């Protein structure tokens, strides 16, 4: 917008009204990839921020999990969270302007393989940059190592050889060699 100096001071009867819609700038950072053993769990920290000069009301974080992941109740200092099946929903009445927050989520790998989850953040106000409002993360769930055979039995081949010699020993005891 530019201002122009009016040379005719007598024509000041017109006016213009401008409306500026307030907007927030919520974002979620890309979480680090993680690795767990099957049925093991890991903590995932989700870094959230509001970079606007306007506080966000009714901030909402939604996390959707693959079927191979399970979540326990997350911890978010700004609000409360609930877990329903494969969806985690967190709500905060206010996300201050020019601030950040960390939402910690405990995830358990319930199926081996590459498991993913998606995270999105929104508020009641419009967002000036929705491109940074959602990310995906991944967790590699490894099957536990195979149990090694022979745990403690050791020397199985030698035992079989001794068993094969047992009849000979018994025979010699019964019929000693004279001579």
pLDDT at 153: 52
- Please choose, from the candidates 72, 50, 70, 51, the residue with its C-alpha nearest in 3D space to the C-alpha of residue 60: 50
pTM: 0.71
Each residue's pLDDT tens digit in the chain (179 positions)?
Answer: 455 666 666 666 666 676 566 799 999 999 999 999 999 999 999 999 999 999 999 999 999 999 999 999 799 999 999 999 999 999 999 999 999 999 999 999 999 999 999 999 999 999 999 999 999 999 999 998 877 665 555 555 555 555 565 565 565 666 666 65
HSE (CB half, 13 Å, CA atoms) of 35?
Answer: 3
Selection from 23, 24, 42, 21 nearest residue 32 by Cα: 42
CA distances to 23, 51, 145, 175, 179 from 167, in Å:
93, 87, 42, 12, 22
Beta bridge partners of 134: 120
Give 65: exposed, middle or buried? Use CB within 10 Å, 0-12, 13-18, 19+.
Answer: buried
Going along the chain from its start, the domains and CATH numbers come out as 26-142 (2.60.40.740)
């Amino acid at each position: 917008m530019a201002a122009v100096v009016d040379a005719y001071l007598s024509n000041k009867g017109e006016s213009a009204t401008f409306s500026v819609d307030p907007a927030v700038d919520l974002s979620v950072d890309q979480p680090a990839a993680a690795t767990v053993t099957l049925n093991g769990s890991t903590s995932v920290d989700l870094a959230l921020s509001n970079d606007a000069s306007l506080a966000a009301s009714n901030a909402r974080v939604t996390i959707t999990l693959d079927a191979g992941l399970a979540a326990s109740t997350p911890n978010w200092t700004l609000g409360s969270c609930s877990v329903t099946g494969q969806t985690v929903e967190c709500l905060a009445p206010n996300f201050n302007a020019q601030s950040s927050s960390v939402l910690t989520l405990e995830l358990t790998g319930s199926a081996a393989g590459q498991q993913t989850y998606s995270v999105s953040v929104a508020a009641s106000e419009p967002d000036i940059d929705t491109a940074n409002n959602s990310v995906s993360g991944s967790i590699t769930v490894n099957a536990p190592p195979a149990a090694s055979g022979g745990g403690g039995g050791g020397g199985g081949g030698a035992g079989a050889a001794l068993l094969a010699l047992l009849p000979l020993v018994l025979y010699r005891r019964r019929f000693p060699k004279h001579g």
